[in-house]
Amino acid sequence: MPRAAGQPALPLTTDDGAPVVVRRSARRRRTVAAFWEDGNAVVAIPAHFTKAQESEWVRRMLDKLKRQGERGAHGAGRRRPASDTALAAHAAELSSKYLGGRSIPTSVRWVSNQKSRWGSATPADGTIRLSDRLQPMPQWVIDYVLLHELAHLLVAGHNAAFWRLLEAYPETQRAKAFLEGVAFATSRGLGPDEEGAGAPAAGWDADAD
Protein backbone atom coordinates (compact mmCIF):
# COMPACT_ATOMS: atom_id res chain seq x y z
CA MET A 1 0.00 0.00 0.00
CA PRO A 2 1.44 3.43 -0.95
CA ARG A 3 2.37 5.69 1.95
CA ALA A 4 0.21 8.73 2.56
CA ALA A 5 1.79 12.14 2.05
CA GLY A 6 3.84 13.12 5.06
CA GLN A 7 3.91 9.59 6.46
CA PRO A 8 7.43 8.61 7.56
CA ALA A 9 9.27 6.02 5.48
CA LEU A 10 9.31 2.50 6.82
CA PRO A 11 12.68 1.26 8.14
CA LEU A 12 14.74 -0.37 5.42
CA THR A 13 15.37 -4.08 5.84
CA THR A 14 16.93 -6.93 3.87
CA ASP A 15 14.75 -9.59 2.25
CA ASP A 16 14.87 -11.68 5.44
CA GLY A 17 14.12 -8.78 7.78
CA ALA A 18 17.56 -7.69 8.99
CA PRO A 19 17.83 -3.90 9.57
CA VAL A 20 19.75 -1.88 6.98
CA VAL A 21 21.94 1.02 8.14
CA VAL A 22 23.25 3.56 5.61
CA ARG A 23 26.40 5.40 6.68
CA ARG A 24 27.58 8.49 4.84
CA SER A 25 31.27 9.25 5.15
CA ALA A 26 33.20 12.35 4.12
CA ARG A 27 36.30 10.17 3.98
CA ARG A 28 34.85 8.16 1.14
CA ARG A 29 35.20 9.70 -2.29
CA ARG A 30 33.94 7.04 -4.68
CA THR A 31 34.03 3.66 -2.93
CA VAL A 32 30.97 1.90 -1.56
CA ALA A 33 31.09 -0.99 0.92
CA ALA A 34 28.62 -3.28 2.63
CA PHE A 35 29.17 -5.50 5.63
CA TRP A 36 27.42 -7.09 8.60
CA GLU A 37 27.68 -5.47 12.02
CA ASP A 38 25.74 -6.52 15.14
CA GLY A 39 23.03 -8.12 13.01
CA ASN A 40 22.62 -5.06 10.77
CA ALA A 41 23.43 -4.83 7.06
CA VAL A 42 25.58 -1.69 6.87
CA VAL A 43 26.07 0.12 3.56
CA ALA A 44 28.81 2.77 3.63
CA ILE A 45 28.63 5.45 0.90
CA PRO A 46 30.34 8.77 0.16
CA ALA A 47 28.74 11.75 1.91
CA HIS A 48 28.26 13.60 -1.40
CA PHE A 49 25.91 10.98 -2.86
CA THR A 50 22.45 12.22 -3.79
CA LYS A 51 19.38 10.44 -2.45
CA ALA A 52 18.94 8.81 -5.86
CA GLN A 53 22.55 7.56 -5.81
CA GLU A 54 22.07 6.33 -2.24
CA SER A 55 18.96 4.39 -3.19
CA GLU A 56 20.66 2.83 -6.22
CA TRP A 57 23.85 1.82 -4.40
CA VAL A 58 22.03 0.47 -1.35
CA ARG A 59 20.02 -1.76 -3.69
CA ARG A 60 23.19 -2.91 -5.49
CA MET A 61 25.12 -3.65 -2.33
CA LEU A 62 22.29 -5.52 -0.65
CA ASP A 63 22.02 -7.65 -3.79
CA LYS A 64 25.76 -8.27 -3.59
CA LEU A 65 25.57 -9.28 0.08
CA LYS A 66 22.69 -11.61 -0.75
CA ARG A 67 24.64 -13.26 -3.60
CA GLN A 68 27.63 -13.77 -1.33
CA GLY A 69 25.35 -15.32 1.26
CA GLU A 70 23.93 -17.76 -1.31
CA ARG A 71 27.47 -19.01 -1.96
CA GLY A 72 27.94 -19.56 1.78
CA ALA A 73 26.52 -22.37 3.83
CA HIS A 74 24.02 -20.26 5.74
CA GLY A 75 23.74 -16.95 3.93
CA ALA A 76 25.20 -13.58 4.84
CA GLY A 77 21.77 -12.22 5.63
CA ARG A 78 21.13 -14.64 8.46
CA ARG A 79 20.90 -13.04 11.89
CA ARG A 80 23.93 -13.67 14.08
CA PRO A 81 23.67 -16.09 17.03
CA ALA A 82 24.24 -13.19 19.42
CA SER A 83 23.61 -14.97 22.74
CA ASP A 84 25.52 -17.93 24.13
CA THR A 85 22.30 -19.95 24.03
CA ALA A 86 21.79 -19.20 20.34
CA LEU A 87 25.45 -19.95 19.62
CA ALA A 88 25.20 -23.34 21.36
CA ALA A 89 22.06 -24.18 19.39
CA HIS A 90 23.79 -23.19 16.15
CA ALA A 91 26.80 -25.33 17.07
CA ALA A 92 24.48 -28.32 17.47
CA GLU A 93 23.05 -27.66 13.99
CA LEU A 94 26.53 -27.49 12.44
CA SER A 95 27.67 -30.64 14.25
CA SER A 96 24.62 -32.51 12.99
CA LYS A 97 25.00 -31.28 9.42
CA TYR A 98 28.76 -31.61 8.92
CA LEU A 99 30.09 -33.89 11.67
CA GLY A 100 27.32 -36.43 11.93
CA GLY A 101 26.35 -35.04 15.34
CA ARG A 102 29.47 -36.65 16.87
CA SER A 103 30.84 -33.43 18.35
CA ILE A 104 28.75 -32.55 21.41
CA PRO A 105 30.13 -29.58 23.38
CA THR A 106 29.15 -29.05 27.01
CA SER A 107 29.11 -25.28 26.47
CA VAL A 108 29.65 -22.80 23.65
CA ARG A 109 30.03 -19.11 24.40
CA TRP A 110 31.29 -15.78 23.12
CA VAL A 111 34.29 -14.35 25.00
CA SER A 112 36.01 -10.97 24.89
CA ASN A 113 39.43 -12.01 26.21
CA GLN A 114 40.70 -13.84 23.11
CA LYS A 115 42.70 -11.29 21.14
CA SER A 116 45.25 -13.56 19.46
CA ARG A 117 42.96 -16.34 18.25
CA TRP A 118 39.47 -16.66 16.84
CA GLY A 119 38.33 -19.59 18.91
CA SER A 120 39.45 -22.28 21.32
CA ALA A 121 38.24 -25.68 22.50
CA THR A 122 39.07 -27.84 25.51
CA PRO A 123 38.41 -31.50 24.63
CA ALA A 124 38.84 -32.56 28.25
CA ASP A 125 35.69 -30.76 29.37
CA GLY A 126 33.98 -30.21 25.99
CA THR A 127 33.92 -26.41 26.15
CA ILE A 128 34.19 -24.06 23.16
CA ARG A 129 34.86 -20.33 23.21
CA LEU A 130 34.61 -17.96 20.23
CA SER A 131 36.15 -14.50 20.17
CA ASP A 132 33.54 -11.77 20.01
CA ARG A 133 35.72 -10.13 17.33
CA LEU A 134 34.05 -12.61 14.95
CA GLN A 135 30.55 -11.23 15.49
CA PRO A 136 30.58 -8.58 12.71
CA MET A 137 32.12 -11.00 10.21
CA PRO A 138 30.16 -12.94 7.55
CA GLN A 139 28.17 -15.87 8.90
CA TRP A 140 30.08 -18.39 6.78
CA VAL A 141 33.30 -17.28 8.52
CA ILE A 142 31.74 -17.66 11.98
CA ASP A 143 30.46 -21.09 10.96
CA TYR A 144 33.95 -22.15 9.87
CA VAL A 145 35.52 -21.14 13.20
CA LEU A 146 32.73 -22.85 15.11
CA LEU A 147 33.12 -26.03 13.06
CA HIS A 148 36.90 -25.83 13.52
CA GLU A 149 36.47 -25.89 17.29
CA LEU A 150 33.79 -28.58 17.12
CA ALA A 151 36.24 -30.71 15.16
CA HIS A 152 38.84 -30.18 17.88
CA LEU A 153 36.55 -31.92 20.35
CA LEU A 154 37.00 -35.00 18.15
CA VAL A 155 40.64 -34.55 17.11
CA ALA A 156 42.87 -32.38 19.27
CA GLY A 157 45.63 -31.56 16.78
CA HIS A 158 45.74 -30.21 13.23
CA ASN A 159 46.63 -33.50 11.57
CA ALA A 160 45.17 -35.04 8.41
CA ALA A 161 42.31 -36.62 10.35
CA PHE A 162 41.34 -33.19 11.71
CA TRP A 163 41.23 -31.51 8.29
CA ARG A 164 39.24 -34.40 6.84
CA LEU A 165 36.49 -33.52 9.32
CA LEU A 166 36.19 -30.07 7.73
CA GLU A 167 36.13 -31.24 4.12
CA ALA A 168 32.33 -31.40 4.09
CA TYR A 169 32.02 -27.68 4.83
CA PRO A 170 32.16 -25.89 1.45
CA GLU A 171 33.54 -22.59 2.77
CA THR A 172 36.60 -23.91 4.64
CA GLN A 173 39.24 -22.59 2.25
CA ARG A 174 37.47 -19.27 1.64
CA ALA A 175 36.99 -18.67 5.36
CA LYS A 176 40.63 -19.51 6.10
CA ALA A 177 41.73 -17.01 3.44
CA PHE A 178 39.34 -14.39 4.83
CA LEU A 179 40.73 -14.73 8.37
CA GLU A 180 44.30 -14.72 7.12
CA GLY A 181 43.55 -11.44 5.32
CA VAL A 182 42.03 -9.93 8.46
CA ALA A 183 45.04 -11.02 10.52
CA PHE A 184 47.46 -9.58 7.93
CA ALA A 185 45.65 -6.23 7.86
CA THR A 186 45.36 -6.05 11.65
CA SER A 187 49.07 -6.76 12.13
CA ARG A 188 49.82 -3.71 9.96
CA GLY A 189 47.31 -1.43 11.58
CA LEU A 190 44.99 -1.51 8.59
CA GLY A 191 41.23 -1.72 8.66
CA PRO A 192 37.97 -0.25 7.35
CA ASP A 193 37.51 3.51 7.31
CA GLU A 194 35.44 4.87 10.18
CA GLU A 195 33.30 1.72 10.29
CA GLY A 196 35.68 0.27 12.88
CA ALA A 197 34.94 -3.30 13.81
CA GLY A 198 32.67 -4.08 10.90
CA ALA A 199 34.38 -6.56 8.61
CA PRO A 200 33.65 -5.66 4.96
CA ALA A 201 31.72 -8.37 3.17
CA ALA A 202 31.27 -6.50 -0.12
CA GLY A 203 32.98 -3.56 -1.72
CA TRP A 204 32.62 -1.57 -4.90
CA ASP A 205 34.07 1.40 -6.70
CA ALA A 206 31.13 3.67 -7.51
CA ASP A 207 32.92 4.98 -10.61
CA ALA A 208 33.81 1.54 -11.93
CA ASP A 209 30.57 0.79 -13.71
Q: Which of 6-15, 87-96, 150-159 has the lowest mean pLDDT?
A: 6-15
pLDDT confidence of residue 186: 74
Mean pLDDT of the chain: 79
Confidence tier at 204 by pLDDT (50, 70, 90): very low
- Sequence-distant (≥ 6) Cβ neighbours of residue 191 within 8 angstroms: 185
pLDDT of 92 > 50? The answer is yes
How far is it, in rounded angstroms, from Cα 2 to Cα 7? 10
How far is it, in rounded angstroms, from Cα 145 to Cα 169? 11
Confidence tier at 74 by pLDDT (50, 70, 90): very low
pLDDT of 205 > 60? The answer is no
pLDDT of 71 > 60? The answer is no
pLDDT confidence of residue 196: 37
In this prediction the pTM is: 0.57
pLDDT of 182 > 80? The answer is yes
Residues paired with 202 in a beta bridge: 34
- Sequence-distant (≥ 6) Cβ neighbours of residue 202 within 8 angstroms: 33, 34, 35, 61, 64, 65, 68
